[in-house]
Structure 1
Amino acid sequence: MQKFTLDEISPQGLRIEYLEVQSYEMNIYLVYLATADKAGMVYDKQGHPKRFFSAGQIRETFAHCQVDRAVMKHDTPYDEMIGNPPKSADQVALPFSMALPY
């Protein structure tokens, strides 16, 4: 797995074959990208996974890119915390629109 930095994504219009928004509690989103030649998470300038705080922030960050397919996956620990059976290993990937609102 490789790292994508915002610096390498921002100046040019990157063609992204697959963009996965990983949704966590408290409005924290991480982004995983796959291009023709590499795949990995998006990192900030300090080398940490880039935290996004809204779907709009993700759309604005990648507005200049061509995104072929985008999905969102949500992970929550609450079922297991309250005694429910563990969730399945397969997470559901819901379509994620990259279109900016008017």
Structure 2
Amino acid sequence: MNIADLRRHPEQINQVNILSFEGDIYIAELEYKDHRDVLQDVNGGPKRFHSIAELKEVVGATGIKRFNLVFNSPYDEI
């Protein structure tokens, strides 16, 4: 799903998981009732955001209000 699709059908999304990578790359994982999908850019790849605020501004403009921040920490492995 891309931004245009998301604007047309925001009711299909239960929540958006904000996936954090390397401190300044964020990807929106869209959580549906029965599966998950990554928000895509115009080329079909993952849409990258450079801040949580940018992601919430773009995705939040569709009416979606439920976000969850997800990040992996190497400290969990120690």
TM-score above 0.5? yes
TM-score scaled by length of structure 2: 0.76
Does residue 1:46 correspond to 2:43, yes or no?
yes
Distance of 2:30 and 2:6 partners within structure 1: 11
Are 1:25 and 1:76, in contact at CA under 8 Å, matched by a contact in 2? no
Partner residue in 1 for 2:52:
55
TM-score scaled by length of structure 1: 0.61
1:62-101 equivalent positions in 2, closer than 5 A:
62-67=59-64, 69-77=66-74, 79=75, 86=77
Q: CA deviation at 1:38?
A: 5.3
CA 1:55–1:47 in 2, change beyond 3 Å: closer, same or farther?
Answer: same
Q: C-alpha offsets along residues 65-87 of structure 1, whole Å, 9 cap, x if unaligned?
A: 2335311011244x4xxxxx726
Partner residue in 1 for 2:10:
14
CA 1:64–1:13 in 2, change beyond 3 Å: closer, same or farther?
Answer: farther
Number of equivalenced pairs: 77
- Is the helix fraction higher in 1 or 2? 2
CA 1:38–1:86 in 2, change beyond 3 Å: closer, same or farther?
Answer: closer
- Give the share of equivalent positions with the same residue, in percent: 22
Q: Which runs of 5+ in 1 are unaligned?
A: 80-84, 88-102
Q: Which runs of 5+ in 2 are unaligned?
A: none
Secondary structure of residue in 1 paired with 2:49: coil
Distance of 1:36 and 1:71 partners within structure 2: 16
| Structure of larger gyration radius | 1
Secondary structure of residue in 2 paired with 1:73: strand
Give the residue type in structure 1 aligned to 2:77: P
Secondary structure of residue in 2 paired with 1:58: helix
| Larger RCO (CA under 8 A, 6+ residues apart) | 2
Of 26-35 and 36-45, the range deviating more from structure 2: 36-45
